[in-house]
A and B are shown apart, each in its own frame.
Chain A
Amino acid sequence: MTTLRASLAYELRMQLRRPAMWTLVATLAVMTLATRGPRFPTNLPVPHPLPAVLAGWALALNLMAPLAAGVLIADRLVRDRRLGVDELLAALPASVGARLWGKYLGVTAATAIPTLLAMLGAGVYEAAHRGAVSAVGWAVVAFVLVDLPGLMFVGAFALLCPALLSAPLFRVLFVGYWFWGNLLNPDYVPTLTGTLLTPVGDYAAAGLLGAHRLWAGWPGLASVLRPPIGPVSGVASIALLVGAAVVAVLVGQGALIRRKA
């Protein structure tokens, strides 16, 4: 547990001190605001359910934030090998699993913090705009239900896949996947967009908090993975995303233990 805590704290601090993370997440947030459409939360009428408004904010931020998270996390695990400290760390009494989980939780938490801060800002704005202090609480709820599962999903694969692919190749494939599997109109090409496995958080936002959907439940190919929008499908989407992240880290842990042996 000490190893996990130490590894988590170190990775968290190291990621938080990267100026690139703050400047680029802010840039991507500005890009999100620049492309806002008629259903963007700032354009919703004032008598509108607060959960739906804040879920709309969470969904809008999640269009770009996980992209930044994935690109920034991609070099975290391979970095140990590149810097030549892998063998040194392996010689420590600390277990491989605890170090990997600490690293995963630390980098994911660090890349989630800018989104959390942005959601708190949105909550304060909506509280003032709509005259309801509870908007700040709904902002936290929307962050946990909509943004966090997607960030956990992206964080797990972004941490582990570069060990197989190399960080630059993973980044190219990941950016392509992000557009194809989360943002592309399903009528255009067969895509994972709008399915339960879409980390953008469409099902959780629409099914649990009543936000306007992006593509969740869209008819067409892969419709088996696009059940009707509702609380059950919202919970199923969260469970699938978090479950896939946990399984990915466990598989990575097994692979690292085998490599060490």
Chain B
Amino acid sequence: MLLAGFEVVLPLAAGVGTATLAGHDSALELLLSMPTPYRMTLMRRLGLVVAWPALLAAASAGLRFVGQPVVGLAPLVWLAALGALIGVLAGSATGCLVVAGVWVFEQLGAGAFAGSAATRAVFLFPATWLPGLPGWSVNRATLLSTAVLLGVAVWQLLARPHRLLTGDDR
């Protein structure tokens, strides 16, 4: 149960954390006036938010699946990247809600995701809900590669950080 929690709970915490950070910053005007580009500052902060649950997820993988790919890292990185992207695009509340919606949807629809190779490849929590799922490596690779794409999108959007100057969280 504890190990299932690592795969299921930590990605939610990371996703909400990145959405909150990326969507709103009370000191944004000040940070934009600094010589360090804002996206460097934000990426470092996002890295910290992802790092500590990632360490716990890696530890859980060591406990449960010695020699197998990391259990909780892929969903964690994927939801964190999604939260950051939606946070930058639409604000903290929207980012948190999208992360929450995807998280609950995947918990409820675990059986439906097992149906085809395409849905199995994007299912976030196979170790908890579908142990022994075929295509494990494809699933991990898909999640990690799409997370990188989401991260690149965040990086590109932050090239014009003035778009974040919208006042209150939307």
Interface residues of A, Cβ cutoff 8 Å to B: 18-20, 23-24, 27-28, 31, 34-35, 63-64, 67-68, 71-72, 74-75, 79, 82-83, 167-168, 171-172, 175-176, 178-179, 183, 189
Contact = CB atoms under 8 A, between A and B. Distances in A.
B91 interface: yes
Interface of B: 1, 9, 12-13, 16-17, 20, 26, 90-94, 96-98, 100-101, 103-105, 107-109, 112, 168-170
A72 B101 contact: no
Contacts of A24: 94, 97-98, 101
Contacts of A176: 9, 12
A23 B96 CA distance: 14
A183 B129 CA distance: 14
12 contacts: A64-B101, A67-B101, A68-B97, A71-B96, A79-B168, A171-B20, A171-B100, A172-B13, A172-B16, A175-B100, A175-B103, A176-B12
B105 A31 contact: yes
A72 B100 CA distance: 11
Contacts of B26: 82
Nearest to A184: B107
Given A168-B96, A172-B16, A20 B104 contact: no
B9 A20 contact: no
Tell which of B16, B17, B26, B103 has the most Cβ of chain A within 10 Å.
B16
Contact of A189 (B1, B9, B20, B108): B1
State the main secondary structure of chain B at its contact with A: helix
B93 A67 contact: no
Contacts of A167: 20
Contacts of A189: 1
- Across chains A and B, which 6 residue pairs bring their CB atoms closest together, nearest first? A20-B94, A168-B20, A175-B100, A71-B97, A24-B97, A172-B16
A75 B112 CA distance: 34
Given A172-B13, A183-B104, 7 more contacts: A67-B101, A67-B104, A71-B93, A74-B93, A83-B168, A171-B96, A189-B1
A179 B12 CA distance: 12
